[in-house]
Chain A
């Protein structure tokens, strides 16, 4: 009798639960979204605004935003895709998306774009999202480098803001000093990323571009054994051997040193302004931005948004709605305002942006200068192998500095190794 009662009770609970579930609204949908910008001032705020807008216009759908630090980002995303559980909203750096596209993991966005009102004409850097003839992403940022400098340090040394490579080097030499006389240089003219990582290659590129060189030619073939490249390598070697930059530093370290007045000049992306705002107010008033003394400036694509190819059609539609929000005119204007960077959508600027970002015209100017010169940090033809290529460059250039090798010898070796890589 007791067991009959128990069985009845279980059946009653099950039936009740079923009725409740049947009467409940459709199950809430969650879109996973991972980014390295969640906690970044400006960009993080913009993402949160876009999520709020999406959730408001899609009742019952939530976006679960998680932060993964940039150094672990590629590992994390690779693991998630390889295990078959990628986030629905995919945010990737423009130098790493190609590997995911090459594996067929990213959706062909061509049909989605065609069906929508999204006009990608003159969308900055969008051509970089085309991989093997397929549009795999939407570009979120294309930028040109600017030069951040400490006005007080330069004026105290009687130096004008440099506008050419020669002036820049003269300023760097004058500003690299031992301020407290303890025999150790504690103020550097320039701050560069000089440790492991691809940023080493990006920062070196300033000198190579100014000397007229580049990693590859217009057909994507290695073009490193050229007089211009040799000159660029020689310039980088000069910066390091003369000790004009602190060594063993990441780009973040040098940004912090810039904020602490230990580095006088740093050529960097538009995001440097966000870092500068973190400086002590007394220091911040001396921190300024100017066009870089290199022509053309380093520039290029930064990060992209896309979706996986193997999620359900229903989720793809939701993700596309999210992409439409972030690429809308309103949100592109907000991007410029919040991120203090020119948005890729043409004309996405509102007047109020100049109040928050007084140097906004400078950002547009360097973005256009880089775009006009067809510059990108990721060399054409070496996109897939970029990490390995960057390591080869770093190793050979470090060897040049350590063993005092002739830049011509290094350029020849780089050419051979890059050709073997392709």
Chain B
């Protein structure tokens, strides 16, 4: 013990009392005074990980978007900074058309997902025989892998041999098969239907969780005061669900905005750009035409739009509730 203390004293003398070892030893992380430091140290690995997997690719995209580069290669000399990609992007009719298609898709799919999601959530929140099975069916489309679901829908909407056309013609709802994926309006409709089918269960599950969190007392009190079913829906259920609505809406909007598989598999963005979204355009420019710099510029603009939309929705929903 005496030997150890002597070694310790000699070490401290060698390094000096103000050395980092001394300071580290003086840092008692268990004391309340340094509690915040302990927090930062514990968070550091997670922050580092987020930086590597999230922030670095974003910075790389921004960097690429500011270079006139086709296919960049790691380790090679970078091109000089330029705003050419952004100038070209904002002057491109294709970009504005893709933005318009993305916006239309967001409005149509999000509205429908919320209408169907709320209706199904209210339904399966009721007590009835077979409720568990009903909940399972409501959630089922969410569980089906996206590619499998889209390919199945693609065959159902096939213009020549698809089930939908067969039903329409057999039931005399159409006099001839509809070219679902070769005409602009039907193609947009098909993409919307598939996205709604895939997306509404998520809304339903989220709203169901929100519904179950509303205290039963509120409804009892409203009933005592003579409130009808519609009044209870508009004055208790919907206001109580607003925070859930907010979060869910952000997630659904972001999903629609960046979803790629549905459009890629069903239409590839066609016909004549009727279903070309910003994410499809990004992919096509990057891996179809090998213009990584330009594709990165589209990606960065998409990111900015997503951030602004999220911020806007968070603020609005927060104000509505509180």
Contacts and interface: CB of A to CB of B under 8 A. Distances in A.
B71 A182 contact: no
A191 B182 CA distance: 16
Given A78-B287, A248-B179, A249-B160, A196 B73 contact: no
Interface in B248-303: 267-273, 284, 287-290, 292
> What's the interface size class on B, roughly?
35 or more
A78 B290 contact: yes
Given A182-B169, A197-B268, A402 B183 contact: yes
Contacts of A395: 270-273
B171 to A, nearest CB: 11
Contacts of A83: 73-74
Contacts of A262: 161
A247 interface: yes
Central interface residue in A74, A82, A197, A248, by most chain B CB within 10 Å: A248
Contacts of A84: 73-75
Interface of A: 74-75, 78, 81-84, 99, 103, 182-186, 188, 194-197, 246-249, 262, 385, 387-388, 391, 394-395, 398-399, 401-402
B210 interface: no
B68 interface: no
Most buried by B among A184, A195, A394: A184
A248 B290 CA distance: 26
A401 B182 CA distance: 10
A391 B287 CA distance: 13
Contact of A82 (B72, B160, B184, B269): B72
Contacts of A402: 182-184, 271-272
B290 A184 contact: no
Contacts of A401: 182
Contact of A248 (B176, B180, B184): B180
Nearest to B176: A183
B272 A398 contact: yes
A194 B182 contact: yes
B100 to A, nearest CB: 16
A78 B286 CA distance: 10
A196 B287 contact: no
Nearest to B184: A402
A82 B181 contact: no
Nearest to A75: B287
A81 B180 contact: no
B182 A248 contact: yes
Closest CB pairs A-B (n = 6): A196-B268, A246-B160, A248-B181, A75-B287, A398-B271, A247-B182
A258 to B, nearest CB: 14
B160 A196 contact: no
Contacts of A82: 71-74, 292
Interface string B210-234: 0000000000000000000000000
B290 A99 contact: yes
B170 interface: yes
Interface in B103-128: none
A81 B273 contact: no
A402 B160 CA distance: 17
Contacts of A185: 160, 177
Interface in B135-189: 158-161, 165-166, 169-170, 176-177, 179-184
A399 B288 contact: no
A103 B70 contact: yes
Contacts of B72: 82
A125 to B, nearest CB: 23
A270 to B, nearest CB: 27
Nearest to A398: B271
A283 to B, nearest CB: 17
A388 B267 CA distance: 17
B184 A387 contact: no
Given A182-B166, A183-B169, A387 B74 contact: no
Nearest to A385: B289
A405 to B, nearest CB: 11
A388 B289 contact: yes
A385 B71 CA distance: 14
A385 B177 CA distance: 36
Contacts of B74: 82-84
Nearest to B283: A75
A248 B275 CA distance: 14
Contacts of B160: 184-186, 188, 246-249
B89 to A, nearest CB: 16
A247 B161 CA distance: 10
Nearest to B290: A99
A184 B165 contact: yes
26 contacts: A74-B287, A78-B287, A81-B73, A82-B74, A99-B70, A103-B70, A103-B71, A103-B73, A184-B160, A184-B177, A186-B161, A194-B182, A196-B268, A197-B268, A246-B159, A247-B159, A248-B158, A248-B159, A248-B180, A249-B160, A385-B289, A388-B288, A388-B289, A391-B288, A394-B270, A402-B271
